[in-house]
Amino acid sequence: MAASVVLLCVGLAGLELRPRPPIGLVDLIGDLTIGVASLMFVIAWLFTAPVFLGSAVLLLMVGGIVFGIEGFRHGARPRWPSALVAIGSGSILLLAIVGGVGGSDAAGGFEQTIVIGILLFAAGWVWLGVDLMLGRPLPIRADRPEE
């Protein structure tokens, strides 16, 4: 699990290093929370300290929401994969909170519905990774000034 999050962080670095508009503060916050979450997963794996896992998952989901929304709004990354990351992160976070507060029956099949959020989250990251590997340029939007 730690290796997959580190690979996610490597992909994030690749997405950030590609030519794009200047980074904003909210975009930086999303990137940093995902980076810190991957570091916490690695620490939990290296030192067999599961106490870091809950905080790491929370940071990853919050960072995924911010990362996805900013990528969609400002065109800093491909829009629809960014939306998938945000929707997947938000649904995982929402269902985890509902299931934690009201018990596993509160979400109405909590275990099955959270899998949909995980699949959306993963599909968004895979789509972003494929887009990065193929080297597709970001679309020029009319509301964004030329560089």
Alpha-carbon Rg for the chain in angstroms: 16
Got the DSSP string for 31-43?
A: HHHHHHHHHHHHH
C-beta separation of 65 from 46 below 8 A: no
Q: Please provide the size of the chain in residues.
A: 147
CA distance 64 to 117: 12
CA distance 127 to 83: 11
CA distance 15 to 125: 11
Query: Tokens 């597709």, residue?
Result: 136
How is residue 21 annotated by DSSP? S
Please give the chain's pLDDT, 147 residues, in tens: 667 777 777 777 777 777 666 667 888 888 888 888 888 888 888 888 888 888 888 898 999 999 889 888 877 788 888 899 999 999 888 887 776 665 655 555 556 677 888 888 888 888 888 888 887 776 665 555 444
CA distance 109 to 28: 35
Pick from 113, 111, 61: nearest CA to 86: 61
CA distance 101 to 89: 18
